[in-house]
Each structure stands twice: as structure tokens, then as C-alpha cells.
Amino acid sequence: MSPTDAGTEAAVGLRDVSMAFGGRTVLDSVSLDIAPGTVVALLGANGAGKSTLIKILSGVHRDHGGEVRVAGHAVSLNSPSAARRLGIQTVHQRIGEGIVPGLAVAENLVFEELAQKRGNPFINGRATLARAREIQASLGLGWSDAVLKRDVTELGISDRQLLILARALATRPRLLVLDEPTSALSAAEAERLFALVGRMREDGIAVLYVSHRLGEIDALADRLVVLRDGHLTEDQVRPFDWDAALRAMLAQAQETTTARPVREGAQGEVALSLRGVRLFAGRKPLDLDLRTGEVTGIVGLLGAGKTELARGLFGAEPFATGAAELDGRPYAPRRPSDAIRAGVHLVPEDRHADALVPGWSLAQNISLPFLKALSRGGLVNRSREDALGRDTIDALGVVTRDEHSTVEQLSGGNQQKVVVGRWLAETPRVLILDEPFRGVDIGARRDIGRRARGLAADGSAVLVLSADVDEVLEIADRVVVLAAGEIHLDAYGEEAERDRVIRTIAVSV
């Protein structure tokens, strides 16, 4: 546990807070004090437990172990409204969750105050507008009455985020949780936010600042803590030791792994080639070759461009610049179906949003991209579909009753095996795995890694993208460090040892 300064009572504290989902521990005995007038930065890779911790503080997750304390007293945050009443305000990363479509900008600014009113169900437009003027002025938004009267959906994304922040500050919270607050802001808008955070510190408001942008943390935070696999692994005050922080965030202490000592080009020919591809406006273009018989691992933090690269290769968001070749021929997929026909398969980052169909069986989810091949006269051959499901169960060790079980009945690790197995149903020329190990245990990770290595041995080119250094080192022949859409390291074998990879990430973000 990290105590507050001597004589200072924590604004909000956690005592041995734990949480598990489906038997998997997400937070494990986390203790943390956040003092008034301090900015505490929370750093962690995807899947570290940050979102779960935020939701506990926000009153979304109630069934957790341990205690949450406010001003030294144990409290029950059994709903978001209970958290707000106790002075905990959260500005979530997903902006759409914080606005109410159909209401005006002014009504959204005063929404919490309107929701607390009793008796009169009608909105007093004049009073609402006057109060909205006060709230937006606190952030220096400078919105005219005409803007305040518009439907909130007419605002741009950055203005919506500023609206949510202004509404949260209107209550003068005890603790303000900011979850990736600059993700949709321009540089000028971000500077305005930073100035506001400084004012909040001076006013005695505690801030939990969750971000992957190390420069922001270095400029704003009084203290940083690192969450890794549900544990707090680092706690520092200024000046920050970024090398130690990144090691605590990215490197597993329990096991040592190294990249496989494969010589460049030793395992096969170039299957997929990129030249002059620009992932983000204003950044340098990149060149990249993927070879058959080889697993290329790309490691980078959130915002590095991993998903943009994966979706571009799959035709989900075609590259705006540059050119690609597949087996020496031009390759420019405009949609995923083009990529699939060419033999380029993608296991997406978000299995729930982009890969699995709720209510469908394991076999149906696996066969989805290949229904044409499994059908005759417009009718799916169910026996072939079921056989495909059974093959995946056997090949990846999926723990399930049978191929007819729905995906909801599977654990997270077994759901991920289904998604991976889907794209192994037909041997791809190129397999792209975007964060394939997120939310899975080490056994599932090893099973998926074994299949990816086997696929490369059979002549496919395999690309694995992950924020986890050790996951990449365990599976990859070659390691590429990506930051802000640019390649900062491309190395094989001993040249890709952990310390060098982490140092490269530290200096490039």
C-alpha cells in the first residue's frame, strides 16, 4: 500500500481490492491512496486491469473484494450515482457513453442536476441555458447560445469530450478519474486540458489520470503507479524512472523469454511487402516485409498504430498512402472480403465487437467467413460445419461440451481460441493476430502460440501485434517496435533481447 503524505488524509483509497470474472482474477489485492490536490497517473498495458479498477471507482462493478474508502471511511459504491454522490466523477474513454442524444448541448451540460430534481418533470429552458453558460465558462469553452441550443450529436468528438469534462467539474468532485482524456483532442485542446488539471490540483481535487502517453504523464503527474496483470508493480514520485516504470509495465518477472535466433530471410520468401505506408498523418511512412516460415512480432503501446496496420492489411480501413504487394503482385484490398479471397486473415483486437456472434454455436462462429465454400444451393452443409468446429476443438484444445455450445458458454481464453481457430480453418498465406493473448491464461496463450508457430512452419507468414513485450518475445522470430506509426527497431535473435526492446519503447513514445 502507498500511504498519502504524512498528516494528509486520502481523498479516496483502495484497500486490498480484488475482482475476478469467470474464475479469472483481474485485480489482485490492489491498495492505493490518492491524496487531495495530487495527480496520480495510472499506467498499464491492455488487459492490465485498469478498466476494471476505473469501473469499481465509478460504481459500475460492485461485487469486488476489499474496501473503497472516501475521506478515511469505508463506503459502498453500488451504483454510478452513489459514486457521484460521494464525490467521484469519471470521464470515460468512450465518449458516447457520456452524452444523451436527442438533448441539447445545454441540457447535457446540466444533465446530472436535472436528473436529481424531484417533482417537476419539465425542463426550464431559460434556467437550463443560464446554468449551462456557467458550466461551460468554467472550462473556457466559449460556446455561444446557438451552440448550447443545438442537439449534442452535432458537436464534434473533441467538443463532446470537453462537454463531459465540464459537466464533471461542475460538481467540484473529490476525485476526478480521467480515462485517456486526450485521445480525441487536438494539441491546443489538450493544452487547455493540462492547464485545467493544474487548476484542479491547486483547488485540492484529487486526479487519477489514466493514459498511455508518457509525455503527458511526465508533464502532469505528481506520482505514477503501474498496474500489471492485476497487481500494482511500481509506485514512483517525481522525478520518474521511466526505464523502471516500463519494465514494471511490460516485462514479466516470472519467466524469461528471448526471441528465437532466426537469421533474416533464412526461413522463406517475402509474402507481403509494404512500401511508403503512412499510418498517421504527419508521421514518417514505413516499409515492412513479411516472410513465409517466419513469425514477425510488432510490439507497441496503445496508439502505436498496431491496429491501424492490421486493419489496413485486412482491407477494413485501406491505407491512404503507399503500396503493398502479395507474392509480388499489387495488393490493395478495399474490404475484408478482398483480403480473405487473397488468403490474408485477421484475428481482430476486440473479439466481442469484431469477431464473435452472440447466441451462435462454436461451429457457426468458426464457419462464418467460409459459408460459401460450405454451402450448396444456398444451404449450409451442417455436417461439414460441425466437422470444422470439431477440428478446431481438437487442434487448439478448446474446453467445451461440443461444437454446438454457444460462445457465451466458453471462458475468455476458449473464446479467443475459437476466433484464432476460425482463421486457421483454411491455411492462410498471411495470418495477422492483433492482441491475440489479451484476457487469456498462460495455457491458452501457449496453445495459440503453438498453432501460430506451426502455421509459419507450414509456409505461412505470421504477424503478431501486441503491447506485451514478453508475449512477442515468446512467439516471434523477429521483433519490430512501433511507436506513433513509425518503426524504431527491427531485429532478430539476440539483437531483439528484452532490455533493448524496452529501451527502444521508452525513448520512442
Task: List the single range of 6-10, 43-47, 121-125, 378-382 with lowest mean pLDDT.
Answer: 121-125
Model confidence at 395: pLDDT above 80:
no
pLDDT in tens, 253-277: 444 344 444 445 456 899 999 999 9
Q: What is the mean pLDDT of the chain?
A: 84
Q: What per-residue confidence (pLDDT) applies to 116?
A: 66
Q: What per-residue confidence (pLDDT) applies to 391?
A: 86
In the sheet where 206-210 sits, what is the strand order? 88-91, 175-179, 206-210, 39-43, 223-228, 231-237
Region 218-225 average pLDDT: 93
Q: What per-residue confidence (pLDDT) applies to 454?
A: 87
Model confidence at 42: pLDDT above 60:
yes
**Which H or E run contains 40?**
strand 39-43
Region 414-430 average pLDDT: 81
pLDDT in tens, 129-180: 988 888 888 777 788 889 899 898 888 777 887 888 888 888 889 999 998 8
Q: What per-residue confidence (pLDDT) applies to 252?
A: 52
Quote the distance between the C-alpha of residue 228 and its chain's center: 14
Region 433-454 average pLDDT: 76
Dihedral of the alpha carbons of 382, 386, 392, 395, in degrees to the nearest 10: -130
Model confidence at 441: pLDDT above 60:
no
Percentage with pLDDT > 70 across the chain: 87
Cell numbers given for 144: 455561444
Task: Quote the CA–CA distance of 292 and 106 in Å, as a whole number.
Answer: 57
Task: Quote the CA–CA distance of 284 and 326 in Å, as a whole number.
Answer: 23
Q: What per-residue confidence (pLDDT) applies to 443?
A: 64
Model confidence at 1: pLDDT above 60:
no
Specify the CATH superfamily of domain 257-343+429-441+460-509: P-loop containing nucleotide triphosphate hydrolases (3.40.50.300)
pLDDT in tens, 198-213: 888 998 999 999 987 7
Q: What per-residue confidence (pLDDT) applies to 265?
A: 46
Model confidence at 372: pLDDT above 90:
no
Q: What per-residue confidence (pLDDT) applies to 310?
A: 94
> Between 346 and 467, where is the model more confident?
346
Q: What per-residue confidence (pLDDT) applies to 4?
A: 47
Most confident of 55-59, 99-103, 177-181: 55-59
Sequence-separated (6 or more) residues with CB below 8 Å from residue 354? 348
Residue 159's alpha-carbon distances to 164, 190, 323, in angstroms, are 9, 12, 35
> Between 502 and 24, where is the model more confident?
502
| Contact (CB, 8 A) for 479 and 259 | yes
Residue 124 burial (CB count, 10 A) = 12
Band of pLDDT at residue 41, cut at 50, 70 and 90: very high
Dihedral of the alpha carbons of 477, 483, 489, 492, in degrees to the nearest 10: 0
pLDDT in tens, 476-504: 999 999 998 999 999 997 788 888 888 88
Strand segments (E) across 240-361 = 270-277, 286-291, 294-299, 323-326, 329-330, 344-347
Peptide bond into 239 cis (omega under 30): yes
Q: What per-residue confidence (pLDDT) applies to 257?
A: 40
Q: What per-residue confidence (pLDDT) applies to 444?
A: 67
Most confident of 52-66, 134-148, 439-453: 52-66
Q: For residue 461, count CB atoms less than 10 angstroms from its CB and return exposed for 0-12, middle for 13-18, buried for 19 or more.
A: buried
> Between 470 and 253, where is the model more confident?
470
Region 270-290 average pLDDT: 95
> Between 81 and 479, where is the model more confident?
479
pLDDT in tens, 180-191: 887 666 667 778
Band of pLDDT at residue 37, cut at 50, 70 and 90: very high
Task: Quote the CA–CA distance of 495 and 490 in Å, as a whole number.
Answer: 9
Region 351-373 average pLDDT: 80
Task: Quote the CA–CA distance of 6 and 8 in Å, as a whole number.
Answer: 6
Enumerate the domain spans of the chain: 95-170, 257-343+429-441+460-509, 353-425
Q: What per-residue confidence (pLDDT) applies to 289?
A: 96
